[in-house]
Amino acid sequence: MKKYSIDKIRNIILVGHQASGKTALAEAILYNAGVVTRIGHIEDGNTLLDYTPDEIERKISITTGIAFAEMEKTKVNILDTPGYEDFIGEVLGCLPIVEGAMVVISADNGVEIGTENNWRHLDGYNLPRIVCVNKMDKEHADFGKCLQDAQKYLGAKVIPLYLPVGQGDSFRGVVDILKGKTFAYKGADGVFAEEDVPADLAGEVGEWRQKLMDFAAEADDSLLEKFLEGGELSDDELAKGLAAGCVAGTLVPLIPVSATGNIGVKQLMELIVEMLPSPLWRKEFDTLSGDKTEKVKLDPNGSTVGYVFKSMSEKHTGDLSFIRAYSGSIRVGHDLYNANAETNERIGQLYFVQGKNRADTESIDAGDIGAAVKLKSAKMSQTLCERSNAVVVKPVEFPLPSLRTGIVAKDKNDVDKMGTGLNRLHEEDPTFMVEIDADLRQTILSGQGELHLEVILGKLKRKQGVEVEMVVPKIPYRETIMKAAEAQGKYKKQSGGRGQYGDVWLRLEPLAREGGFEFVNAIVGGVVPSKYISAVEKGVVATMNNGILAGYPVQDVKVTIYDGSYHNVDSSDNAFKVAGSLGFKNAARLGKPVILEPIMDVEVLVPDDYMGDIMGDLSMRRGKIQGTEQAGSLQKIKAQVPLSELYRYSTMLRSMTQGRAMHRRKFSHYEEVPHEVAQKLIAEAEAVKEEGS
């Protein structure tokens, strides 16, 4: 494999709303760079980057596709990420290891919610970026609206470096504003001819060129001085200033293209090399020292540091660990130290990845991206380094799941296999969680959306042969008391021979919400011997776990044993355990017992047009609106909603808003359920009890 110096490498991530054409654009770039001999099409299932069975079947990107191409004697590593919010983890996992981004907008839809969300994620890493208005040959393409949207919602610093010649069926090329040239395309093979600027665009090109000079001058003090003196910059000076502005984040270049028509793609490729920075831009990277973040200098010739940013396992590829080399060089035969697992790792085979294909390499040098096969210990978000200079690269913080469901293996014999398979998949995708809830007696699968969960279970079936069905998740209700109460618990049994005797008086008091459980021994004078106190507590705890009203665990209660009696012969641990249980039940009934439900903090990002519908729907779900605020082009609705009312909420939200809204949730607190809900839960518990008897 040809080697590239670090200044001749570009690592770029493709982001954008679903169906904006990111994969098609990546395919066109690879075709023009000579990596492939034909442009693959998602509809035909023959792209280089979307090659997993799920992606081919669903015709969408699900995992990050990785490939590289040479452009202008520069190696460009392309990370093509999914547009669906369900797979946001794929985007977030790649952001720390790239130096530039290409934000793809569909010319017929403009800036959409996925575009804005990804833009905010890019802002979090201050990544230089290019905006690409794709699908300019579509029927309803509107370049003017896309540019207006980008400047309004993404920032006024978005400025075109190219203008389209026509749009829709008439889109045939692009005008280079800097050079004052038109690149007119014929056919889909990427061949173009240079022409003069069309007369109807000459005035607009002149206006934009003047604005570009202003941006370029602001990015470079020496250019600003010249510009103020003479009011003009040369083409080279203009290009230099714009590149500096792009890297500094003071401007974002925009270009119109058609990936499927292969129009403007070659000009886009030039922009990537000229405008986006090399890995040297990232002068340092974040590492963890305990709970503190520390900066470490990026040194191409320094101690080896590699970060595993992605893991995957497929039958035809085996176990792959995708690695970004931050400093030094990762070599075949290299003994490295896994700083997270504190184990040694010997590097066997290394590859550069072209989608589903691999190219052997002896090393992954600083700034570059590659993959290792069958590492023994290294997992996603872990660091490989030299033991003598061990560091831990700061891992990505992934979002909490926004959808939960119960799952059941169709074959009861597959339960263990299901757990093992899901744990293995979690190593590849940390944005979903599996929890075996002992209280609910249910396995809960949580993820970023319904599609996300479907894909996970599809992988489980394909890779492990385990079929799983989703069921309505049980809600972790709790019970508590609302007022203090006292009662006796007395257990006396005589049936010949030694009897059973235990007698306690308990005082129950409500604690603050999330106060847990507190047990206090207030016995004086030895009326209940100290050796029996722990047995009383065990009886209380056992009864709390079984509930008061509907069988849900009791919480937020202080229990005090303050009196009782015992028998020298008949008292025992078991007798006092039963007495504790009876005393708790008797006192709890007098303490105004209630059922509690989990309340979630919910944030919904929604366009103005759907605000009323969403707020009304949240209210119907017993939600309490906490407020609203502007978030770019969207409104952010903050509410507190019972978890029981949020089953498949993400699916409903997308349906109500044509996919233009999204939500996040996290646990807030427990709250008393309304009377009618409590009565329903109690009735259901009684029915189950009767069936069991």
The per-residue pLDDT for 438 is 83
Q: Is residue 623 part of a domain?
A: yes
pLDDT at 255 over 70: yes
Check pLDDT > 60 for residue 693: no
Domain co-membership, 582 together with 600: no
- 256-290 pLDDT tens trace: 999 999 999 999 999 999 999 999 998 899 999 88
- Number of folded domains that form the chain: 5
Task: Say if 209 falls within a structural domain.
Answer: no
pLDDT at residue 618, rounded to an integer = 97
Task: Identify the band that residue 654 occupies on the pLDDT scale cut at 50, 70 and 90.
Answer: confident
Question: Are 288 and 277 part of one and the same domain?
Answer: no
CATH number at 585 reads 3.30.230.10
Looking at the structure, tell me whether residues 163 and 272 fall in a common domain.
Answer: yes
Q: How far apart are CA 379 and CA 389, in angstroms?
A: 20
- First-residue to last-residue Cα distance in the chain: 72
Is the residue at 665 inside a domain? yes
Whether 565 is in a domain gets the answer yes
pLDDT value of position 316: 64
Give residue 228's pLDDT band: very low, low, confident or very high (50, 70, 90).
Answer: low
Residue 91 above 80 pLDDT? yes
- Residue 511: per-residue pLDDT: 97
pLDDT of residue 317: 64
Residues 573 and 601 in one domain: no
Residue where the block lists tokens 């999204």? 662
Confidence of residue 98 (pLDDT cuts 50, 70, 90): very high
Q: Are residues 341 and 379 in the same domain?
A: yes
pLDDT value at 159 more than 70:
yes
Q: What is the CATH number of the domain that holds 119?
A: 3.40.50.300
Q: Note whether 275 and 154 are same-domain residues.
A: yes
Residue 512 lies in a domain: yes
3-state SS string over 121-156? HHHHCCCCEEEEEECCCCCCCCHHHHHHHHHHHHCC
Among the residue ranges 9-13, 403-407, 590-594, the one predicted with the least confidence is 403-407
One domain for residues 380 and 290 = yes
Residues 289 and 277 in one domain: no
| pLDDT for the residue numbered 226 | 67
Give the tokens for residue 184. 């007119």
- Within this chain, do residues 180 and 329 fall inside the same structural domain, yes or no? no
Both 462 and 442 in a single domain? Answer: yes
Whether residue 160 sits in one domain with residue 254? yes
Q: What is the pLDDT of residues 507-539, one digit of tens each?
A: 999 999 999 999 999 999 999 999 999 999 999
Instruction: Indicate the residue among 281, 296, 331 that finishes a domain.
Output: 281
* From 52-56, 115-119, 493-497, the region with the lowest mean pLDDT: 493-497
- Check residue 231 and give its pLDDT: 65
In terms of residue numbers, what domain contains 573?
Answer: 479-591
CA torsion sign for 178, 238, 69, 321 is negative
pLDDT tens track for 425-451: 999 999 999 999 888 889 999 999 899
Among candidate residues 259, 281, 303, the one where a domain is terminated: 281
Residue 191: per-residue pLDDT? 93
Q: Domain holding 462: CATH number? A: 3.30.70.870
Residue partners of 186: CB distance under 8 A and separation at least 6: 192, 193
CATH code assigned at 342: 2.40.30.10
- The answer to whether the Cα torsion of 48, 455, 120, 608 is positive or negative is positive
Q: What is the mean pLDDT of residues 230-242?
A: 80
Same domain, yes or no: 262 and 316? no
Q: Mind listing the pLDDT tens digit for each residue in 240-250?
A: 889 999 999 99
> What pLDDT score does 614 carry?
97
Residue 650's pLDDT is what? 87
Q: Is pLDDT of 598 > 60?
A: yes
pLDDT given for residue 188 in this prediction: 79
- The continuous run of DSSP H or E covering 677 comes out as helix 675-692
Tell whether 17 is covered by a domain: yes
Confidence of residue 155 (pLDDT cuts 50, 70, 90): confident
Query: pLDDT tens across 2-15, in order?
Result: 889 999 999 999 99
* pLDDT, tens digit, 9 for 90 and up, residues 542-572: 999 999 999 999 999 999 999 999 999 999 9
Q: Which two tokens stand for residue 93?
A: 């996992």
Domain boundary among 281, 301, 333: 281
Q: Give the pLDDT confidence score for residue 563 in this predicted structure.
A: 97
CA geometry: angle 592, 598, 600, nearest 5 deg: 140
The answer to whether residue 268 is domain-embedded is: yes
- 389 and 299 Cβ atoms separated by less than 8 Å: no
| Percentage of the chain exceeding pLDDT 70 | 98
Backbone angles phi and psi of 592, in degrees to 5: 50, 70
User: What's the pLDDT at 690?
Assistant: 83
Per-residue pLDDT for 215 more than 90? no
pLDDT of 230 higher than 70: no
Report helix, strand or coil for 642: strand
Q: What is the mean pLDDT of residues 218-235?
A: 70
Task: Report if residue 666 sits inside a domain.
Answer: yes
How high is the pLDDT of residue 440? 85
pLDDT recorded at residue 224: 66
Mean pLDDT calculated for residue range 502-506: 98
What rounded mean pLDDT belongs to the chain?
A: 93
DSSP string spanning 56-86? HHHTS--S-EEEEEEETTEEEEEEE---SGG
Q: Is the pLDDT of residue 497 over 80?
A: no
pLDDT band at 252 (very low <50, low <70, confident <90, very high): very high
Q: In this predicted structure, what is the pLDDT of residue 229? A: 62
